[in-house]
Structure 1
């Protein structure tokens, strides 16, 4: 290989590396901005749900059906429109819906003694988990793609477990409480690791669509916050 050919190859490799880094930084930046923006409809949805009582309209199994049906419909639509502005609008609508669904739990906790402190602790704890996982994702050089299979199993276990817990609660609320707390603890672990996994995928170039990246991180944050809120609420409730 001539000196000129070697120079051209090195230049091409450097140019490709620079393009990859620019794309990665752009996706990461857009994801963080959209993630921050998505929290606004969530707060508005939670406030509206508590102020109007919309969040309390559906109870029991009907609430579960509405929640799962609405969530999966939104996620399907977001995935289909991920490359257009409609995907962003659907994502913001989804986060508003999730805020409404969260309002009954928030209202219950806020009605407790020291309820506001419990909510703020859950917010701070979730933010702390996100900061730690984002930092770890930026410094870990190892490929974490293999972790995804184990996390999917963990998420499936928590999903089935929460449904079983809801069924058990219909017969005995006291018996379902230990299961609920154990599932919330597992959910915090699984979705905290999912934050690490999802951010690392963006950094490694595995996720190049910032709408889908935002959706994944939003679900991680939502699940950690909700589970942490339940655990802290149970600990605070005498």
Structure 2
């Protein structure tokens, strides 16, 4: 009897994990497409640039709203608001790349897709619990913050390139950790998981744009 209950509980847990993964990938694909559409339309229409401070304020405000509403259906609308806003925020950079070298956008998209695919496959295939990566991400975020502040002062192209590479590595680890966290039951909310993966994808794409754009200059 106890064995039957244990098997049933394990099956229910696997089913719940599969549901979170499925909903996460579905919502992620839709929001990425929506964000890309907003970015394309904003770029073609040459809408005004927000600036760094308004972008940060808007991002963290909407991120707080998503987390606050993540257990409600309205959390999905907040997710679209966040991803649409970030699509609008990156539009000026895309406009610059289109004017300077449009191939850098294709390279950035291809690189981002490849990184996400590889990280997803690794996360889904490994049987290890990678929860220890959370401490790696904390250390990495501190290192990135220090490097970013330093580059604001020094404004060195080599340092900018290094920061872009660091962001790609950091975001790749974040993707692996997040998917692994879903698989092992640490994350059961697909809205929070979607936003976490979206932010990582966004950072990888913008970093690739910086790298390929810098190389072509």
TM-score, length-normalised on structure 2? 0.95
Alignment of 1:158 with 2:155, yes or no, is: no
Aligned pair partner of 1:199 in 175, 179, 200: 179
Are the counterparts in 2 of residues 184 and 231 from structure 1 also a CA contact under 8 Å? yes
> 1:104: which partner in 2?
92
SS state of the match for residue 77, structure 2?
A: helix
Are the counterparts in 2 of residues 110 and 116 from structure 1 also a CA contact under 8 Å? yes
Aligned pair partner of 1:68 in 53, 56, 60: 56
Alignment of 1:11 with 2:14, yes or no, is: no
- Provide closer, same or farther for how the CA distance between residues 67 and 135 of structure 1 changes in structure 2, counting only shifts above 3 A: same
C-alpha separation in 1, matches of 2:102 and 2:127: 40
Larger Rg: 1
Q: Where do 4+ consecutive residues of structure 1 move more than 4 Å?
A: none
> 1:91: which partner in 2?
79
- Provide closer, same or farther for how the CA distance between residues 156 and 104 of structure 1 changes in structure 2, counting only shifts above 3 A: farther
5+ residue gaps, structure 2, are none
Please list the CA deviations of residues 83-120 of structure 1 after superposition, one character each: whole Å capped at 9, or x if unmatched.
Answer: 112110010111011011111111111111xx232111
Report the Cα offset of residue 42 of structure 1.
Answer: 1.0
TM-score, length-normalised on structure 1? 0.87
Please list the CA deviations of residues 126-184 of structure 1 after superposition, one character each: whole Å capped at 9, or x if unmatched.
Answer: 11111111111112122211111111221232234334423444xxxxxx211111100
Please list the CA deviations of residues 24-73 of structure 1 after superposition, one character each: whole Å capped at 9, or x if unmatched.
Answer: 000000000000010122112212332333342x4xxxx22111111100
> 2:67: which partner in 1?
79
SS state of the match for residue 111, structure 1?
A: helix
Aligned pair partner of 1:178 in 148, 158, 175: 158
